[in-house]
Amino acid sequence: MQILEQSLDFTPNPDFEGRFKKALLRQGEPDRVPMSDFSIDVLIKREFLRRELGADVSVQDDGHRAGRLYGKGKLPLDLEVEFAYRAGLDFIRLEAGIQQKTAAVQGVAQVVQAKYAAFGDEEQERGWANEGDGVITNMEEFKAFPWPDPDEMDYSAFEEVKKYLKPGMKVVLGLGKVFTGVWWLMGMECFCRATRNDPGLIKAMYEKVGEAQMRVLDIATRFDCVGAVVHADDIAYAQGLMINPKHYREHFFPWLKAAVDLCHSRGIPFIYHTDGDVRMVLDDIVACGVDALHPIEPKAMDIVWLKEHYGDKVALMGNIDLGYTLTRGTPEELEEEVKLRIKQLAPGGGYLCGASNSVPEYVPFENFMAMRNAILKYGKYPIQLD
């Protein structure tokens, strides 16, 4: 293995059960603070492996056209595992669900191509769901929509990955998008109008999307390589919830609880990802039984306050500032922020460190490395930081 530019004495030793899962379930202090990043852009991964392996790494087009897109495509599965292993992660994430590789659902996104990356000369693609009217705006369109069949989706990656996983590694299944799946398909403005004018359509949408995602969850969690589930469903902005909390309580949280219950019945921890300030419904989220909350944006919620008031109920993940430090700060600033978060949050366990959202392509590679190296440097238990 070549020595990275940011010198670090590190030998990969993935330990999903004894480190990652132990932190998720708040079962005391593991050997070190686990890394929590589920979404790292393919350009960051490619650059990391290029420097480690001393060779160019090809990127495959995955045909994914739903939601936001960062780099183009993805790494081959064996290199996804190789990146996670060498970077210090205990897992790789594999996604499943009606939002993945489904032409009818992917059609809701508008894609723009430009140079977004902090390094290199390639252009990247980003897509946004329609804000006005989506592909389902009334009951007739709902009935005519070519709904994907979860039983006919491709789950082959969950078998293939077993050939590549290093000892101690597991898969984190990325699912989610029940609330998000409903409004993506309807368009946000249409969705908001329908909450008042067409509650029957809203109910039908949640039942259809929720049942499909639950079936995917049922199928995917039967693979023995799956060690945890992260359910991604953004319900808030930094300033507060997207819509009235009564809506979530009626339509979304019952599906969230059902997903948690299914996972727990199989001994699988459940992570809930949502951006924004969710304090107004935090008790509802906790009542659903989630094991961890991710990614806790600094501008939205005070993670130290969360640790004090909810640290005995949920593990906390992320919080390294994507808004400034990761994107515009210096490596030295990143090291100090990681050190502070570990000092504040890691004692006793229940904290997993990483970005306050994801690691997109506009994060400078040196900043990603500074965050990664600082977690490995300062996250060793017992935590002894001034």
Output the six-digit token pair for 197.
Answer: 């004018």
pLDDT at 122: 73
Q: Are strands 109-114 and 124-129 parallel, antiparallel or unpaired?
A: antiparallel
Sketch the domain layout of the chain as residue ranges: 16-378
DSSP state letter for 353: B
Q: Which residue has the tokens 């890394």?
A: 35
Mean pLDDT per segment of 10 residues, for the chain of length 386 residues?
A: 54 97 98 97 93 78 44 80 97 88 54 71 69 90 93 95 98 93 93 97 97 97 98 96 98 98 98 98 98 97 98 98 97 98 98 97 96 97 90
pLDDT at 278: 98
CATH code of the domain occupying 16-378: 3.20.20.210
Measure the CA–CA gap between 319 and 232, rounded to whole angstroms: 16
**Rg (alpha carbons) of the chain, rounded to whole number:** 20
pLDDT at 62: 54
Tell which phi-psi region holds residue 383, choosing left (phi > 0), alpha (psi between -120 and 50) or beta: beta
Measure the CA–CA gap between 251 and 236, rounded to whole angstroms: 15
pLDDT at 132: 83
